[in-house]
Amino acid sequence: MHIVVTGANGFIGSHLTKALLERAERDPAAWPLQRLTAVDLSLNQLPDHSLLRRIEGSFADDAALQRALTPPADLVFHLASVPSGRSETDPALGMAVNVQGTLRLLDMLKAQGNAPTVVFASSIAVYGKPQAPLVTDDTPPLPTLSYGAHKVIGEILVNDHVRRGWIKGCSLRLPGIVTRPPEPNGAVSIFLSDLIRELSQGRPFTCPTSRDAHTWLMSIGCCVENLLHAARQTFGERRTFLIPPLHVHLGSLVQAIGEQFQIPTIDRLIAWQPDPWVEFNFGSYPPVQLPLAEAQGFQADRDLRSLVADSLASGY
């Protein structure tokens, strides 16, 4: 089996790559990995491994992509993208990578002729600020940022390539994944990871939302398990899923961090300074009800305490 991971050096990509190598060693019957090709602009977060091949460059570059898909891929995790903030400030780059690059990848996979499986990392950005009081499996996308629009286009492209029998696979709408490393990555939502990391270390933090903001979160460990699960599933006509997130009240998240790390005065460490744009786009998410995603085997973190513990196990 030849697996390709685009965006392999990113937060999710690096954890997924390490998990794939571990699964191949632990359970080679389930994961008969012969080669794992990691593609990203840099690859300094990945371990040395005999099965790992590194290709430094953009997946949207034809030469790099051609190298990545030689020999033909059997399974592709397409995680690479220009994130939300960068796509807003550089719309041409966002379109070139997120839309045109994704189409080029899918067409090259089509040309292989072996109908490989693709797991496309979409985003809750497709919803914009959800207008409904409850988000379900059937809530339509209504993006308010270019990044969300790019992800909707990617979902449509994946779905059409699957419909025609050119590839197999699905699109997964990922919620906020925590806890990301402290360096900026162009995603506005990174403040959610900063909140968990800083408060758990007993350091003060200024949050750009109100205490009563609600968002959708998932730990990196839970995210990786859902991605691996998707790669082994057979899908019917529904091929796009919102992975069940925890619907998190930020005030309750702060209290859970305080309880887990025995910081009784944690309220003194947090300053709530709502930014209306951030609150609108990242702090106004409604509850979810996702029986179809759950029936397909996708899962949320058990509770806030497990989310905090698992997210910080990433080492950041």
Percent of the chain that is helix, strand, coil (3-state, to 5) = 40, 20, 40
The two structure tokens encoding residue 148? 């969300």
Written as one letter, the residue type at 178 is V
Q: 122 with 171: CB under 8 angstroms?
A: yes
| Residue 210 to residue 275: CA distance in whole angstroms | 8
| Residue 241 to residue 12: CA distance in whole angstroms | 18
Q: CA 211, 215, 219, 222 torsion: positive or negative?
A: positive
The two structure tokens encoding residue 309? 């513990």
Helices H, strands E: what count in the chain? 12, 14
Catalytic: 285? no
Q: Which distant-in-sequence residues (6+ apart) come within 8 Å of 18 by Cβ?
A: 46, 47
DSSP symbol at 141: P
The two beta strands, 35-40 and 168-174, are unpaired
The catalytic position among 127, 147, 285, 316 is 147
Catalytic residues: 147
